[in-house]
Amino acid sequence: MAAKDDPSEEGSRSARAHKAILRATADLLDEVGFAAMTIEEVAARAGAGKATIYRRWPSKGALAMDAVVAEIGSPAPFPDTGSVVEDFRVQLRSAARIFNRPRVRHMLSGVIFEAQNNPELREAFLNRYMTPRRTRAKEALRRGIARGEIRPDLVEDVFFDQLLGALYIRMLVIGSPLNRRFTDELVDQVFAGLRQSTAR
């Protein structure tokens, strides 16, 4: 039996508390949304103290985004298939499968809409969700540039807004399923424009 002051036992309790807080936060985001969610309710559901939550997360927005990320999972590295088009095709298919999960779609759409009028939540969304994913995507994009597949003077942010903007509009505004046909055609059309620009 571990002693009371055993660091491994303390670490195990801390990890369990961390998971319980994120799970309670995710449940509340799904049930009532970000605006109605309170730290008090998260603490009550997780069996944790408010002080514990505030020690781990600087804001309600940061906690919400960590709960969303935990629900979605860590961003997977882009596959290196030898073709930038195929890299993005595989990655968007994977993203579509995640976004098609009703709980994830509901949580993520709620957070994105709330972030428009909540600077704290918007910053947490960018730092904890969007930026890490764009960083990995840029690595794949630059491999394609290095191989001469796409033009080197493309504007990365515009490229991502084209690709991901279409994905989020379909998910958040239209509400249609993100099927393989849609993601494949989206990738083909965006990259077709880049390839055409090189054939001059």
Sorted by where each begins, the domain ranges of the chain are: 7-59, 71-198
CB 144 within 8 A of CB 81: no
Architecture, CATH, for domain 71-198: Orthogonal Bundle (1.10)
Single pTM value for the model: 0.78
Q: Which CATH class is domain 7-59?
A: mainly alpha
Residue type, 54: Y
- Same CATH topology for 7-59 and 71-198: the answer is no
pLDDT (tens place) for every residue of the chain, 200 residues total: 444 555 555 577 788 899 999 999 999 999 999 989 999 999 999 999 999 999 999 889 999 999 999 998 766 667 889 999 999 999 999 888 888 888 988 888 888 888 888 898 999 889 888 888 888 889 999 999 999 999 888 899 899 999 888 988 888 888 888 899 999 999 999 998 787 444 33
